[in-house]
Amino acid sequence: MDLTQSQSSNMSLGFVSHASPAATTATLTFRFDSSSHSVPFAPLQLMDNQREEKEKNGDVEEFRILGHSMCLKRKREIDSTSSSSSSMKSFSVTVWNELQSRRNAVRAWGNQGLRVADPDIFEIMNKEKQRQYEGIELIASENFVCKAVMEALGSHLTNKYSEGMPGARYYGGNQFIDEIEMLCCKRALAAFGLDPENWGVNVQPYSCTSANFSVYTGLLLPGDRIMGLDTPSGGNTSHGYNLPNGRKVSGSSIFFESLPYKVDPQTGCVDFDKLEERALVFRPKILICGGSSYPREWDYAKFRQIADKCGAVLMCDMAQISGLVAAKECLSPFDYCDIVTSTTHKSLRGPRGGIIFFRKGPKPRKRGMFLNQGDGSDKYDFEEKINFAVFPALQGGPHNNHIAALAVALKQVASPEYKTYMQQVKRNAQALAAALMRRNCRLVTGGTDNHMILWDLRNLGLTGKNFEKVCELCHITVNKVMIFDDNGSMTPGGLRIGTPAMTSRGCQENDFEMIADFLLKAAHIANSVQKEHGRLAKAFLKGLENNNDIIELRTRVENFASLFAMPGFELYQLYHLELITNEGCFSIGYRYSKSSTTFDGAKGCEAAVPQFTPIASTLMANNRNNIHGSLLQPIQKKQKVAAVWHS
């Protein structure tokens, strides 16, 4: 504000002056009061010295800034000691209360827990939690994540939109999202021992099916040819599966021309002679190895040779075995393949999603053996094509909470403890396979090299669908699968069994011996019901109602499963109880619900056994490895005993 222009400005700023002051320039700086009391806005005016005295005692307050001869004036501020101070306070309180009411309204819906906000969903989720805890999880493609992964997955990162790649987003405010995604990519490469100069990775796909289709979209034109393992032979539908009647059941078979290769019916392993013969005639642009239900090692070197002969890109879908690959417990597709896709859950124990690895940098001079780097004259062009296919071609914004959770899981994958875990997964699978074969069960390929087993039920006269239902009622979760000459996926003759999930809960080889007994008992129940009621679904399900054998087996399964801890959450505290009766001393395991009752386990007490749910009892047995199915019997109700609890 230039005060030297006050006379000629005809008081355009609302002040009066009878004489011009010395030429000077003043800057007026106004600052809001930082206190919690709001001050009402009042317009400021400049006034001269003559009028200053006249209005000194009026309703106008006058003051100078920086000693300037001209005065500012405004309506007199309310004196805290005056009678009007209460109205000022009332004004401040009103503003504050209004703000608080808005804050409370946000909290009312925004900070409400699920139990209160949606009791229906809360109850169903609790039932699912109970099912997971009390059941035996044997689906090969399922696993349990740790609490840290759950925390990242259920975090505030779900609020952020971030279409695009790190450093090139379509939305602002992504600096921290970029950091998370770049760290996730770095950890993904490190987990599999890949050189970032030669390999790139995209962690945005929503699933492995999305990842696979992104590869096809980026590298192919509609109608181009792909070749993957037939689904009844153990392949995945996303590799281009058609039903026997010719119906196309996946996007890969709808938009691209697919021809499957198959396994040898005698061995259950890939028939490479016929694969090569068909590939040289069909000339696929992408040859796919990897599958959903293949229990043996993949011979990537042979796939590389065939891909080179027919001029195809070699792609591996390692969704089932990615954990074994990371732990170096099986052959690595990265030594031979151009592109590798995977899920991020299953044996990796991460959130549900997909991931794509692709070669970059110079191409090799020679093909057919290890892909050693060449002279750099020809380079891979997968990176830009695949990234563009993921976004914007097929997906929108990535799920940032998933990417953060994946980063957490990949950090664990690179640890020595994870390698130990995957070694136990393999040992458990081999122990279960051996236990089933000792019980005269027929396994596809006669065993396993990885984490899964394929049980051929056809010699028992069972369908996978009926057996799966019996297992489900007994709280054993498995999944039916087609065997190579099956006619349909809904009435297949096989069962797929995996060990990663129960290994995550702490099961070892001897525990899978007991699980084999449970499975065989379930097979006998299914066979008995089928003989009495028939194989058709309606009659078979009727025979399962109120079946005493199922109730008995379910009790044994629940008691067994409840012995083991649950990653991510705990429903019960496990106590050991020494019972002293006239028949001897017993050590009893009890599962005790914190949510339903309270109990001081440190004190000796006179206990009524029916107040708690017994898990197992055995004479002087304090080691759970000595607890077996025949001993999983409940104590008689209302039996009074002297009890000493040990947590």
Position 445 pLDDT exceeds 70: yes
Contact 319, 341 (CB under 8 A): yes
Structure tokens at 151: 């925390």
The pLDDT score that the predictor gives to residue 490 is 61
Residue 157 and residue 407: Cα distance in Å, rounded?
Answer: 13
Q: Strand 286-289 to strand 225-227: parallel, antiparallel, or no bridges (unpaired)?
A: parallel
The pLDDT score that the predictor gives to residue 570 is 74
Q: Are residues 339 and 200 in the same domain?
A: yes
Q: Are residues 392 and 349 in the same domain?
A: yes
**What's the pLDDT band for 63 if we cut at 50, 70, 90?**
low
Among 217, 343, 344, 445, the active-site one is 343
Stretch (H or E) spanning 280: helix 272-282
582 inside domain = yes
Among 55, 74, 161, 309, the active-site one is 161
Farthest CA pair distance, the chain: 117
Q: What is the mean pLDDT of residues 98-111?
A: 89
**What's the pLDDT band for 582 if we cut at 50, 70, 90?**
very low
Counting other chains too, the contacts that 206-210 makes at CB distance below 8 Å and 24 or more residues apart are: 206/353, 206/354, 206/395, 206/399, 207/343, 207/352, 207/353, 207/354, 208/238, 208/317, 208/319, 208/341, 208/342, 208/343, 208/354, 208/355, 209/236, 209/238, 209/250, 209/354, 210/354, 210/390, 210/394, 210/395
Q: Are residues 212 and 348 in the same domain?
A: yes
pLDDT in tens, 273-331: 999 999 999 999 999 999 999 999 999 999 999 999 999 999 999 999 999 999 999 99
The one-letter code for the residue type at 27 is: T
Position 341 pLDDT exceeds 90: yes
Q: Are residues 542 and 641 in the same domain?
A: no
175 inside domain = no
Domain interval for residue 4: 1-80
Q: Are residues 499 and 580 in the same domain?
A: no
Active site residue 572: no
Active site residue 477: no
104 inside domain = no
Question: Could you identify the residue written with the tokens 């029916």?
Answer: 610
Q: Are residues 445 and 481 in the same domain?
A: yes
Q: What is the mean pLDDT of residues 406-434?
A: 98
Among candidate residues 61, 80, 99, the one where a domain is terminated: 80
607 inside domain = yes
- Ranges 525-529, 536-540, 601-605: which has the least confidence: 601-605
How much is the pTM? Answer: 0.77
Residue 389 is classified by DSSP as: I
Q: Are residues 385 and 249 in the same domain?
A: yes
Among 278, 352, 469, 554, the active-site one is 352
Is residue 606 helix, strand or coil? strand
Active site residue 151: no
133 inside domain = no
Residue 480 is part of a domain; what is its CATH number? 3.90.1150.10
**What's the pLDDT band for 246 if we cut at 50, 70, 90?**
confident
Q: Are residues 204 and 301 in the same domain?
A: yes
Stretch (H or E) spanning 578: strand 572-581
Residue 411 and residue 148: Cα distance in Å, rounded?
Answer: 11
Active site residue 359: no
The pLDDT score that the predictor gives to residue 524 is 97
Position 177 pLDDT exceeds 50: yes
Q: Are residues 318 and 441 in the same domain?
A: no
626 inside domain = yes
| Distance set, CA 100 to CA 90, 92, 105 (Å) | 15, 12, 8
Residue 601 is classified by DSSP as: T
Specify whether the backbone of 17 is left (phi greater than 0), alpha (psi in -120 to 50) or beta. Answer: beta
**What's the pLDDT band for 643 if we cut at 50, 70, 90?**
very low
**What's the pLDDT band for 94 if we cut at 50, 70, 90?**
confident
Residue 61 and residue 75: Cα distance in Å, rounded?
Answer: 6
Residue 43 and residue 553: Cα distance in Å, rounded?
Answer: 84
The pLDDT score that the predictor gives to residue 249 is 85
The pLDDT score that the predictor gives to residue 639 is 38
Counted domains in the chain: 4
Contact 254, 247 (CB under 8 A): no
**What's the pLDDT band for 74 if we cut at 50, 70, 90?**
low
Distance from the Cα of residue 217 to its chain's centroid: 25
546 inside domain = yes
Residue 221 is part of a domain; what is its CATH number? 3.40.640.10
Q: What number of CA atoms fall less than 13 Å from residue 72's CA on the CB side?
A: 17
pLDDT in tens, 467-502: 999 999 999 999 999 888 776 556 789 999 999 999
Contact 223, 371 (CB under 8 A): no
Counting other chains too, the contacts that 88-94 makes at CB distance below 8 Å and 24 or more residues apart are: 88/37, 89/37, 91/38, 91/40, 92/36, 92/37, 92/38
Among 262, 346, 554, 591, the active-site one is 346
Active site residue 381: no
Q: Are residues 275 and 319 in the same domain?
A: yes
Active site residue 346: yes
Among 163, 264, 276, 509, the active-site one is 163
Contact 603, 616 (CB under 8 A): no
* CA dihedral (499, 504, 510, 516) positive or negative: negative
**What's the pLDDT band for 15 if we cut at 50, 70, 90?**
very low
Position 451 pLDDT exceeds 50: yes
pLDDT in tens, 546-576: 999 999 999 999 999 999 999 998 775 444 4
Among candidate residues 561, 593, 608, the one where a domain is terminated: 561
Query: What percent of the chain has pLDDT above 90?
Result: 63
Q: Are residues 273 and 373 in the same domain?
A: yes
pLDDT in tens, 195-237: 999 999 999 999 999 999 999 999 999 999 999 999 999 999 9
Among candidate residues 373, 399, 425, the one where a domain is terminated: 399
Stretch (H or E) spanning 496: strand 494-498
Q: Are residues 497 and 455 in the same domain?
A: yes
225 inside domain = yes
